[in-house]
Amino acid sequence: MLGSDINPDNLPQHIAIIMDGNGRWAKLQGKPRVFGHKHGVTAVREVTEAAAELGIKYLTLYAFSTENWSRPSIEVNALMSLLVETVRKELATLNKNNIRLMAIGDLSKLPDKTRESLYEGIENTRNNTRMTLVLALNYSARWEIVEAAKKIADASIRKEIDPNVLEAQDFSNYLSTRDIPDPELLIRTSGEQRISNFLLWQIAYSELFFTPVLWPDFRKEHFLAAITDYQSRERRFGKTSEQILKTS
Ligand code: IPE
Ligand code: IPE
Ligand code: MG
């Protein structure tokens, strides 16, 4: 049985992952960085499958940040082609496992082929209900927040909303994650301990888990270990430990 140490009653609904370390993984083997990205796909497949089997409802993977455009063009192009290829190849498996594909980020700036295969994947899996796999592509949290602010300003000029009564929950409704609960757990691989412009608003109260494992080496057992660690934490949301223990 998958993850027998895991308490099925205390699973995160949403797990977000900053998949990092592909370049270093490749370098360790004397290979070009792109080799690491290709092997990263195996980790994506394993983790997606494990998450669905466990009953996680949303899995968000940071695949390409807005800042990643500043990498050498050979790497950017390879990543964009890899995305097309992966979405096409994995489509049947996504459907077999009843997984819905979604994307967040500024998709309009992606190469046409990448965007088209992504839309095809989203369209072909839209009725799946077991889990939603969200790819963050050309994503930046500050971009997302500014976009939300622009939409709010616009709606307020058109007198559709009154900004004076706007609350945090209303603001969330203008983000690209509006129908998705905030992640309870955020994992980053490769030993880096930073957020790199990912889901800044949504991780306000997420538990953070950092592992030295490089993304292409990340497997089910590492994923389960992160969830077990999450389950050992006391989420206090500003309250005292005594208050939490009394209500649980
Ligand atoms: C993460 O691995 C994948 C992307 C950012 C697309 P990196 O490519 O950042 O790998 P390192 O951090 O250079 O090792
Ligand atoms: C963050 O990784 C982006 C993705 C995982 C897609 P980076 O490797 O680009 O992050 P920094 O630049 O080292 O912070
Ligand atoms: Mg990196």
CATH number at residue 59: 3.40.1180.10
Task: Indicate the top mutation candidate among 25, 67, 142 to test ligand 2's pocket, ranked by most ligand atoms within 8 A of CB.
Answer: 67
Q: Are 82 and 41 in contact (CB under 8 A)?
A: yes
154 a catalytic residue: no
Domain housing 36 = 14-142+182-247
pLDDT of residue 47: 98
20 a catalytic residue: yes
Residue 1 pLDDT greater than 70, yes or no: no
> Among residues of the chain, what percentage have pLDDT more than 90?
97
Residue 224 pLDDT greater than 60, yes or no: yes
Residue 39 pLDDT greater than 80, yes or no: yes
DSSP structure class, residue 206: P
DSSP structure class, residue 115: H
Residue 4 pLDDT greater than 90, yes or no: no
Cα 15 to Cα 55, 96, 209: the distances in Å are 11, 21, 11
Ion ligand 3: residues, CB within 5 A, are 20
Report which protein residue has its CA nearest ligand 2's atom 10: 196
Q: Which atom of ligand 2 is nearest to the CA of 64?
A: 6
Residue 223 CB neighbours (<10 A)? 26
Long-range CB contacts for residues 172-176, cutoff 8 Å, separation at least 24: 172/201, 174/147, 174/148, 174/149, 175/144, 175/145, 175/148, 175/201, 175/202, 176/104, 176/105, 176/144, 176/147
Q: Is residue 54 part of a domain?
A: yes
Report pLDDT digits (tens) over 74-92. 999 999 999 999 999 999 9
pLDDT of residue 247: 76
Q: Is residue 153 part of a domain?
A: no
Q: Is residue 3 part of a domain?
A: no
Q: Is residue 150 part of a domain?
A: no
Q: Is residue 198 part of a domain?
A: yes
Residue 26 pLDDT greater than 80, yes or no: yes
Burial profile 160-175: b = 16 or more Cβ within 10 angstroms, e = fewer: ebeeeeeeeeeeeebb
CA 10-13-17 angle, to 5 degrees, is: 110
Number of domains in the chain: 1
Q: Is residue 76 part of a domain?
A: yes
Q: Is residue 151 part of a domain?
A: no
Q: Is residue 87 part of a domain?
A: yes
